[in-house]
Amino acid sequence: MSGRIDQIFAALADPTRRAILAMLLEDDMAVTDVAEPLPISLAGVSKHLGVLAAAGLISRERRGRVIWCKLEPDALREVSVWLQAFGQVEPVELDAFERFLAAELEAAREALAEAEAEVQAGDATDAPP
Amino acid sequence: MSGRIDQIFAALADPTRRAILAMLLEDDMAVTDVAEPLPISLAGVSKHLGVLAAAGLISRERRGRVIWCKLEPDALREVSVWLQAFGQVEPVELDAFERFLAAELEAAREALAEAEAEVQAGDATDAPP
DNA sequence: TCCGTTCAAAACCAAAAGGTTGCGCACGCG
DNA sequence: CGCGTGCGCAACCTTTTGGTTTTGAACGGA
């Protein structure tokens, strides 16, 4: 076992999962609400949440019928520690914060929507703008 | 495409590849020298190096017959930026540096050696120098 | 000039990952 | 009480990944 860092990096390697983390950064969410903007099935989202939870990146708590997902930032600190071992991780200007956040979410949505369209495309115009 | 961050995280998700990065942190190395301590074939290592290079985490330069591998820390800065978007990445005490580095390398070696031993099971005639 | 070293690419294979559908199990609202 | 809602689990399919062995190309030294 190489510890949990394996699972953490593997979890972060998927754009859908990173998009989920970005959503949870804004606020805690129910599973259904997490799944709503994503172009995959609810069960698929549930699997992603399982991966994220196994990596310690989120936690899930049942309240009534609804399961609330919460970002668990401590796991990300492990990545931070790992990064530090490789030297220059000087903080970037905080402007990057919002820019990145929006970009990440929108990119994920666009990419997945594209993939979705591609499947249904058949012979549609192969040249997107 | 969600940019190169996908490839970076995917590349970092493998312990063998992280061990390679840790080696290259100490110094630039030839492919053969990278492969030497690892319990997989040279071709396997070459593939891992290909993944790391595709992610921008290392660069390879041919000098004579030998290809020298060099850590490319700029790619890791992308991870750092991503991490920053998720808040608390306050620097950890630098003591963690050496501890982690040794642990990472040794853990990777042990885990892989274990797997190797598991495959060969009862055959103990293996006497590495 | 020929040979050994150094490495990547190709052709495979087993296993894991990402996705789907369908089922079942709790819950709380009528 | 019963039914719809919210969610996880299991079975299945396809693609990717990590590994192997084999082949062969580029380069230097003798």
Residue of B12, B71, B78 best to disrupt the A interface, most CBs of A under 10 A: B12
Instruction: Quote the mean pLDDT of chain B.
Output: 77
Q: What is the pLDDT confidence band of residue B127, given thresholds at 50, 70 and 90?
A: very low
The more confidently predicted of residues A54 and A124 is A54
Q: What is the pLDDT confidence band of residue A107, given thresholds at 50, 70 and 90?
A: low
* Chain B residue with minimum CA distance to A21: B86
pLDDT at B123 over 50: no
pLDDT at B89 over 70: no
Q: Do A81 and B92 touch (CB under 8 A)?
A: yes
Return the DSSP state at B91. Answer: P
Residues sharing a CB contact under 8 Å with residue A45, sequence separation 6 or more, in sequence order: A20, A31, A34, A35, A38
Q: What is the pLDDT confidence band of residue B77, given thresholds at 50, 70 and 90?
A: confident
Q: Determine the pLDDT at residue B114.
A: 46
Q: Determine the pLDDT at residue A106.
A: 54
Lowest mean pLDDT among A42-46, B61-65, B73-77: B73-77
Give me the CA A49–C1' D6 separation in Å, rounded. Answer: 15
Q: Determine the pLDDT at residue A69.
A: 98
Give me the CA B43–C1' C9 separation in Å, rounded. Answer: 10
Give me the CA B86–C1' C24 separation in Å, rounded. Answer: 37
Q: Determine the pLDDT at residue B110.
A: 52
Q: CB neighbours (10 Å) of residue B44?
A: 13
Q: Do B86 and A25 touch (CB under 8 A)?
A: yes
pLDDT at B94 over 80: no
Q: Determine the pLDDT at residue A110.
A: 53
Each residue's pLDDT tens digit, A46-90: 999 999 999 999 999 999 999 999 999 989 988 988 888 776 555
pLDDT above 90 covers what percent of chain A? 53
**A22, A88, A108: residue with CB nearest B77:** A88
pLDDT at A120 over 50: no
* Chain B residue with minimum CA distance to A98: B85
Answer yes or no: are the C-beta atoms of B55 and B7 closer than 8 Å: yes
Q: Determine the pLDDT at residue A108.
A: 53
Closest CA to B68 of B42, B26, B33: B33
pLDDT at A97 over 90: no
Q: Do B85 and A100 touch (CB under 8 A)?
A: yes
From residue B112, give the alpha-carbon distance in Å to each of A8, A60, B56, B86.
19, 33, 25, 33
**CB-proximal positions of chain C, under 7 Å:** 4-10, 17-22, 26-28
Q: What's the CA gap between B81 and B44, in Å, rounded? A: 31
Q: In what order do the strands lie in the sheet with B29-30?
A: B29-30, B66-71, B58-63
- Which residue's CA is nearest to the C1' of nucleotide D22? B43
Q: Compute chain A's Rg from CA coordinates.
A: 17
From residue A51, give the alpha-carbon distance in Å to each of A9, A20, A45, A95, A112.
11, 12, 10, 30, 19
Read off the tokens for A106: 């929108």
Lowest mean pLDDT among A82-91, A95-104, B36-45: A95-104
Q: What's the CA gap between B104 and B113, in Å, rounded? A: 14
